[in-house]
Structure 1
């Protein structure tokens, strides 16, 4: 066989000394391997044994890494299990899906809410808004009895040995017979002026307090109907109360009242043209806890004098507080968390008695009517959206126009 050697074309590259040394080392290593292969024992000791040891060492390290990984996975599973258990407890404790969703939305917007608070603080003092809105936010106070429609008998407290008998829940036992005191219920809430004709806006459950609770149960048990004995209102800066009557009620926990006297002179609040947005500032006005909050703002001497007066009741206390100028709404500030067609959720603090009060933005425009507290979530409250209230007012205006 003839092998033809073809000459290289072009110049042959020159090798540096370093490259030559590396090439020489590789040649020597290859020669050593070839020599070792001619001597099997030396080959095994020099090449096979170290290779096996290296493999075993690698397997050992991999085993350690695997054990560590399994330990981490076990710890991770435990953490996941703990989280799952916590979520399960949350599901069991949650009062309703809507409440949980509202709070989830509130928590999700906590950072945005904090930023909104900062922006609201940077907007300047709220004193002008508080003064303007507060002057048109009043306290409503009333009393009613439950009367049988055909017999004309009022529901009375059931006595035994001159003392009121109590049921298993601690409430008074009632009866249509006997000579015990007439069962009279008192109620309080908040309203605000919305026009120059004395129209007041509040909650349905404020205007018709007998639709829930013990009164509703008594109406069903005894077949009695409510009869309003008195309903009156107080406005800040006014020493005298004025008569209030129910003008109409809506399905969305809204009611229209009509007030006389001072209600005709108060400046109406402006309704916002649309519902608020999540993250908007919210100012809630009202009379939470009723007279208790007003008495808490009075000095000790004033409270001591009230305690010393004979025949003191809620009605007389309210009159005295109005005369000394202590009927003033409380205001709390928060952030809107969630808005739907049915409700506005916000974190401004309030309590029972604050129902029916206005929720306003930083311009003093009403964006909702305060209505309920989310019992299982501290600091969260709900109001009826202003668009719902505006629609109710339009319907009332149409009905009134048709009746003329």
Structure 2
């Protein structure tokens, strides 16, 4: 690269072997151009646009004022500032100076800046990066411009020279490194995304597990809860006894319906787990060295698909009732498939897990042993499900479905196991509760087994009035609560007119039942499959 200014007397390095040095212009209109120095004396001029011109010999351009004179001393050039012209070398104003390789020369108060280099009859066609960076640092240190302007000029010039004046190999290497770095950054970004998705998925899974386990713990009994139950037992039993006695005295027909229907109402107890869809493994507890399940500092169990303990159980209870003649058990869909309530199923699936029933059993009044129950089908339009049980449980049991729709104002008797195990323990009596405290048998499964063995499984009954009837719901005010879902709502003839499904506490404790017509529809649909 050389100065192509018209009428310039500067010598191209190709035209002579006597090139001794050059000025590399760093600022101004001549930035990036090389001014060759080959004669013993040269004149340096700066025009009004701050463009730099070298004239060899003692002549001068008539349209330009000479700013400095360069004279060869045998080893290097000496620079002399002419009258009325200011020259700075390495940031120091001079009258004359002996130039050294790499010196920074600034011509005039606002003139261009150049770097002096000795080339000893050879000029490098490509510059090493360290030289380019050295020039940038020297410029930033010696220029008298404002700091921001100096810094920006140094950076821009460094980038330009690295892109244009370094070797092809270096530029190819830089491009290759940039490609590698870009690829690495992209891969790292994608890896971070995958990791974040994994964290989010795990958080959703843990949230779903925590919610389900919290509901499970509601069924568990602690020592303190047993003590509280014992303290309240006498009052609760007295209240229940008085209520039932009053019901029998006032409505002998209702007492008969309760007595004849009790054996057909089942206490349902079950648990489901989670199976990882990708690996097919069950979610299990992680055991410590002592064989006990590990817990987090917040008291939550540590679980993992590679855990060495039992599968994590999400326990639940509910109510169901046998149908006469076919041995089928009717209950709610949210009882038979408890993971379908709230957002549990969505949370489980989004975290890569599928719920799977681990155990579902039914306890019938009068039977000391539980019977296995299996899912048969569920309604797509109502909160109903059908279960099958072993034939031994159906002998002499079963309720009849009403063929007609009840009227508003009709009485209904709702039967079920409201509040689950707690109500059964309260009904079992003080001695049973004391025995549980002494033996410490408060396990979800063991308590129900002990109740069944002692013949203490019996549903609660409550009486109410039908307040509203629609095609999808029967609303009544019979008292019931959580755990009574799936129980029958009976008319005065003992026939099922609805299946208890939900509570409406905001409406004075009203309950919603699924109309019996939906049960008929589900039976027809299931029989057709």
Task: Work out whether the TM-score is over 0.5.
Answer: yes
Indicate the residue corresponding to 2:433 in structure 1: 303
Does residue 132 in structure 1 map to residue 264 in structure 2?
Answer: no
The answer to whether the 8 Å contact 1:157/1:173 transfers is: yes
How far apart, in 1, do the equivalents of 2:526 and 2:308 lie?
43
Indicate the residue corresponding to 1:242 in structure 2: 371
Does residue 183 in structure 1 map to residue 315 in structure 2?
Answer: no
SS in 1 for 2:424: helix
Indicate the residue corresponding to 1:111 in structure 2: none
How far apart, in 2, do the equivalents of 1:262 and 1:337 lie?
38
Indicate the residue corresponding to 1:116 in structure 2: none
Indicate the residue corresponding to 1:219 in structure 2: 348
Indicate the residue corresponding to 2:277 in structure 1: 149
- State TM-score, norm by structure 2: 0.49
How far apart, in 1, do the equivalents of 2:366 and 2:309 lie?
39
* Cα separation, partners in 2 of 1:305 and 1:311, compared to 1, 3 Å: closer
Indicate the residue corresponding to 2:389 in structure 1: 259
Deviation at 1:379, TM superposition (A): 1.7
- State TM-score, norm by structure 1: 0.63
How far apart, in 2, do the equivalents of 1:201 and 1:326 lie?
22
* Cα separation, partners in 2 of 1:384 and 1:308, compared to 1, 3 Å: same
1:325-344 to structure 2, matched below 5 A, reads 325-344=455-474
Equivalent in 280, 296, 305 of residue 164 of structure 1: 296
SS in 1 for 2:372: strand
Q: Which moved more, 1:151-160 or 1:259-268?
A: 151-160
Does residue 379 in structure 1 map to residue 513 in structure 2?
Answer: no
Q: Deviations over 1:111-158 (max 9, x none)?
A: xxxxxxxxx987644221111111111111111110112302222468
The answer to whether the 8 Å contact 1:149/1:225 transfers is: yes
* Cα separation, partners in 2 of 1:341 and 1:271, compared to 1, 3 Å: same
SS in 2 for 1:376: helix
More helix by share: 1
How far apart, in 1, do the equivalents of 2:480 and 2:252 lie?
23
Deviation at 1:262, TM superposition (A): 3.6
Indicate the residue corresponding to 2:454 in structure 1: 324
How far apart, in 2, do the equivalents of 1:296 and 1:222 lie?
39
Q: Deviations over 1:78-117 (max 9, x none)?
A: xxxxxxxxxxxxxxxxxxxxxxxxxxxxxxxxxxxxxxxx
Deviation at 1:230, TM superposition (A): 1.1
Deviation at 1:288, TM superposition (A): 0.6
Q: Deviations over 1:179-221 (max 9, x none)?
A: 5764211111111111333211110011101112474254133
The answer to whether the 8 Å contact 2:428/2:451 transfers is: no
More strand by share: 2
* Cα separation, partners in 2 of 1:218 and 1:171, compared to 1, 3 Å: farther
Indicate the residue corresponding to 1:12 in structure 2: none
What 5-or-longer segments of structure 1 have no aligned partner? 1-119, 400-404
Indicate the residue corresponding to 1:202 in structure 2: 331
Q: Which moved more, 1:221-230 or 1:148-157?
A: 148-157
How far apart, in 2, do the equivalents of 1:346 and 1:311 lie?
38
How far apart, in 1, do the equivalents of 2:391 and 2:438 lie?
32
1:4-403 to structure 2, matched below 5 A, reads 124-156=252-284, 162-164=294-296, 175-176=304-305, 182-213=311-342, 215-251=344-380, 252-399=382-529
SS in 1 for 2:394: helix
Could you say which structure has the larger radius of gyration?
Answer: 2
Q: Which moved more, 1:387-396 or 1:280-289?
A: 387-396
The answer to whether the 8 Å contact 1:193/1:263 transfers is: no
Q: Deviations over 1:32-76 (max 9, x none)?
A: xxxxxxxxxxxxxxxxxxxxxxxxxxxxxxxxxxxxxxxxxxxxx
Indicate the residue corresponding to 2:106 in structure 1: none
* Cα separation, partners in 2 of 1:122 and 1:314, compared to 1, 3 Å: closer
The answer to whether the 8 Å contact 1:269/1:366 transfers is: yes
* Cα separation, partners in 2 of 1:263 and 1:180, compared to 1, 3 Å: closer
Aligned residues: 277
The answer to whether the 8 Å contact 1:144/1:227 transfers is: yes
CA RMSD of superposed structures (Å): 2.5
SS in 2 for 1:135: helix
